[in-house]
Structure 1
Amino acid sequence: MTELLSPSPSIEFFDGLYEDLSGVSLRRDRRTGHHVALLMFEKLKSIEQFNSYRKRFHQSLKLTDTEGQILMQPSSVQSLRVDSPPLCGVKCQD
């Protein structure tokens, strides 16, 4: 019997460069009532490895799981630093 393997959920800013998500927060903007997803990353491989010149940028965040793909264009990206560099995290909000 052949087992069907389902793809692992993944997050990419650049093709083939998979990011590790450290946290998710779902919120509602009190002013507009819109739902907001806040994705947090402790490290971004796309920044650390400077792959932007070798990989195709999606102009969005690509989320992939067994149900398909979602392309999300973040409304803000905030880098987190403690007492200046190095980067200690990134918050990506839509």
Structure 2
Amino acid sequence: LWTLVNSRHSVISTSSQIMFCVFFGQKQTLLCILDCVAHLLKIPEEVENAFFERTIKAFTWVSHDSENGQLICKTLKDVMIPVLHDLRTKAMEELELTCHCSHVP
């Protein structure tokens, strides 16, 4: 999966470029990745933060330490966190509907 994500070769440096890329092509890939992580249900905060940093770097080729890196990372993280939490809520609801065991996480 990371090989697919890392296959992007262009560097994205402005918020308009981020939005262009997210809305034209990578949106479905990003949603798929977020959905996979959402189905892990609860993960430690440091793992979630590492996931966001790695995903953002893979999609944008921008390091958190670069010139615009902090702004780009913050912008994308601010967008992805609510999406992940919404997908996680839906995943938990699906589990409650399909799980017939006595112990539901």
Superposition TM-score, scaled by structure 1 size: 0.30
Q: Taking CA–CA contacts closer than 8 Å with sequence separation of 6 or more, which of the two structures ends up with the larger relative contact order?
A: 2
- The structure with the greater share of residues assigned to strand is 1
